[in-house]
Structure 1
Amino acid sequence: MKIQLKSFIEGSKFTHFITAMILINALLVGLETYPSIAKEYELWFFIIDIVVLSIFTVEILLKLIIYRASFFKNGWNNFDFIIVVGSLLLYGSSFVSVLRIFRVLRVLRTITTIPTLRRIVTALFMAIPTISSVMVLMSIIFYVYAVIGTFLYAEVSPEFFGDLGLSFISLFQIFTLESWASGIFRPIFAEIPWSWIYFMTFIVIATFIMINLIVGEIVNNAQKISDEIESETKEIKEIKEDTSEIEELKKEVGELKTMLQTLIDRK
């Protein structure tokens, strides 16, 4: 019974069903942001939300029955458990805003049900040490350029480079490439023609090189995970092939025994 229940929970049909419930929950939360729809179908929203939450609760209970203590050894299972338990504890409480946050967080459970999304997030977490180093390097670059910008352009453009804090904010806007040319660069360029060197070097270093380093690290980790999955799949196939060969040998041995027994009987 336990083995059948485990195969049912880990099966594709059950996974697809839970994914569908998560998407319904996401659609429900999105529709409730429209006041007219929320008021008209308030009762239906409440009933569907209760049903969806009940299904999530049953899912967690089934997994706890099957996996027991080992359930909490998986980080994704802990994530699902916190969201579902938090939703149950806060349901009907006065903390309406916190409950809404938990309801929205249920949408993130799609990560736990879709393997490709789980792989991407895992790759992102694996890249955190390298990303941290890149962020430290970016902070140093931002600081150096903010100090230089304050010294060079404080008088020309005090609203953007009047002090170190304003320079940091301006550089962040330049980093995002949001209206940096018309809003920040061109007024300064009209006064100081060689200022393009400052802005162009910052964009090349901070925006293109640093971002590519982060993306490259995430891609490398995703490739590592894919290679590991492929190697595990090959090992499983090899084990299956070995098992099938053993079964064939058993059949041949059985046939030989039968033949020998018939020969003995004849004699």
Structure 2
Amino acid sequence: MFETFRKSLFNLKQNRLFEFFVITVIIISALEIGAKTYDLSPTSLLVTKYLDVFITLFFLFEITVRFVSEENKKDFFKSGWNIFDTAVVVISLIPINESEMALLARLIRIFRVLRMISIIPELRILINSLLEALPRLGYVVLLMFIIFYIYAAVGSFLFQDINPVLWGNIAISMLTLFRVMTFEDWTDIQYETMEVYPMSWIFYMTFIFFTAFAFLNMVIGIVVGVMDEEMHKERLKSEPSMNELQDQIQDIRGQIQVLIDRDKKE
């Protein structure tokens, strides 16, 4: 009896219309959160209140469906996304009126928008790729920090008297270089120092080449490579393994042999 009920919930979870409805509710939840940042009329506030109750209860129903439909309940909590969804849903059940946890509950309701990632596989691949790429990006970030530090020290020594606000010390110089790297009015900084040091353009050109071009392309290459690996893993999960293919071939051979034996008897 329970197994039949579980399979029914599993079919519901896999249903495309149900997934689309979940995504729609998440979008409505995001719009409802945004609407609360405006000055609303009492009627609108009442509508958002009841809408919030509906969204909370629906998310509770949806996470229950996913948990009950799981054949092995322990596997459900092996997924970080399932743990995140469960935490968001449980904390969303905290009453937000006249409670010391009101602020926390409101903040958690904002994070319900992130449930879109756990529902859409393509978004999960993007986030998982980014998380997998972080350890590899650490060395690039370290190398970039070294370049920043060297150029900030040079810039502070050379340009401190020209503009102490931008080059007063090494920390401020690093902030100025970050502005240069992001191309935020960096030419104004360059022309200001070129009035005293005409060849200072070499300082900026080499720094931009190292940071904005070389290191940025390294970061993109690492992320794209990891993303390709994650997509390959997802394809392997969806494709049958060699053992499964062999089992299917054996089943087909067995069925063919049964048919051959039946024809011989007839």
Same fold (TM over 0.5): yes
Q: Compute the displacement of 1:247 (Å).
A: 5.3
Q: Deviations over 1:92-123 (max 9, x none)?
A: 32444332321111111111111111101111
Q: Deviations over 1:115-149 (max 9, x none)?
A: 11110111101101111111111111111111111
Q: For 2:155, give the aligned amino acid.
A: G
**Which stretch of the first structure deviates more once superposed, 96-105 or 117-126?**
96-105
Report 1:26-105 matches (<5 A): 26-35=30-39, 37=40, 39-67=42-70, 68-89=73-94, 91-92=96-97, 93-105=99-111
The correspondence for 2:27, drawn from 17, 23, 30, is 23
**2:240 counterpart SS class:** helix
Distance 2:47 2:163 in 1: 56
The answer to whether the 8 A contact 2:133-2:223 is kept is yes
**2:162 counterpart SS class:** coil
Q: Compute the displacement of 1:59 (Å).
A: 1.6
Q: Can you give the 5+ residue segments of structure 1 that lack an aligned partner in the other structure?
A: 263-267
Sequence identity percentage: 29
Q: Compute the displacement of 1:239 (Å).
A: 4.5
**1:198 counterpart SS class:** helix
Matched with 1:165 is 171
Q: For 2:232, give the aligned amino acid.
A: D
Q: Are residue 132 (structure 1) and residue 135 (structure 2) matched?
A: no
Q: Compute the displacement of 1:241 (Å).
A: 9.2
Report how many residues are paired: 259
Cα distance change of structure 1 residues 62 and 256 upon mapping to structure 2, 3 Å threshold: same
Give the alignment's TM-score, normalised by structure 2: 0.88
Q: Can you give the 5+ residue segments of structure 2 that lack an aligned partner in the other structure?
A: none
Larger Rg: 1
Q: Are residue 206 (structure 1) and residue 211 (structure 2) matched?
A: yes
Q: For 1:136, give the aligned amino acid.
A: L
CA RMSD of aligned residues (A): 2.3
Q: Are residue 215 (structure 1) and residue 214 (structure 2) matched?
A: no
Distance 1:241 1:16 in 2: 36
Cα distance change of structure 1 residues 60 and 232 upon mapping to structure 2, 3 Å threshold: closer
Q: For 1:227, give the aligned amino acid.
A: H
The answer to whether the 8 A contact 2:133-2:226 is kept is yes
